[in-house]
C-alpha cells in the first residue's frame, strides 16, 4: 500500500489541505472503504472543497447514493 504511505506523509505535512483530503477520500474509495472515504470527504468539505466540484467529480459517483453524501453536498460552500 504505497499510496497510503505517501498519503500519510502528505497529511502530516498539510493536514488541512483540501486536495490532500480529497485524495485521501479517493484512496479509501479505491480500497473499497466507502465509510472511511466519506469521513475524508467530510474533512475536505469542511476545509473548503466546493459544492460544484463535489457534485461534478465523476470519481465520487459511487458515493452519491449514500445519505451522508447528500448531507455533505448541503454543507459544502459554493465556489462562486
pLDDT at 3: 77
Provide the pLDDT confidence category of residue 68 given band limits of 50, 70 and 90.
Answer: very high
Number of domains in the chain: 1
Cα atoms found within 13 Å of the Cα of residue 58, Cβ hemisphere only:
0
Confirm whether 14 is domain-assigned.
Answer: yes
Confirm whether 68 is domain-assigned.
Answer: yes
pLDDT at 79: 80
Confirm whether 67 is domain-assigned.
Answer: yes
Domain residues for 66?
Answer: 2-75
Confirm whether 15 is domain-assigned.
Answer: yes
Residue scoring higher pLDDT (50 or 1): 50
Q: What percent of the chain has pLDDT over 90?
A: 86
Confirm whether 80 is domain-assigned.
Answer: no
Spatial distance between the Cα atoms of 80 and 28, rounded to a whole number of angstroms = 29
Amino acid at each position: 500500500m504505497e499510496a497510503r504511505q505517501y498519503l500519510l506523509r502528505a497529511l502530516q505535512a498539510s493536514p488541512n489541505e483540501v486536495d490532500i483530503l480529497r485524495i485521501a477520500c479517493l484512496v479509501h474509495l479505491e480500497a473499497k472503504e466507502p465509510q472511511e472515504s466519506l469521513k475524508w470527504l467530510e474533512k475536505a468539505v469542511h476545509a473548503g472543497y466546493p459544492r460544484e466540484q463535489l457534485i461534478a467529480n465523476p470519481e465520487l459517483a459511487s458515493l452519491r447514493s449514500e445519505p451522508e453524501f447528500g448531507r455533505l453536498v448541503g454543507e459544502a460552500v459554493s465556489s462562486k
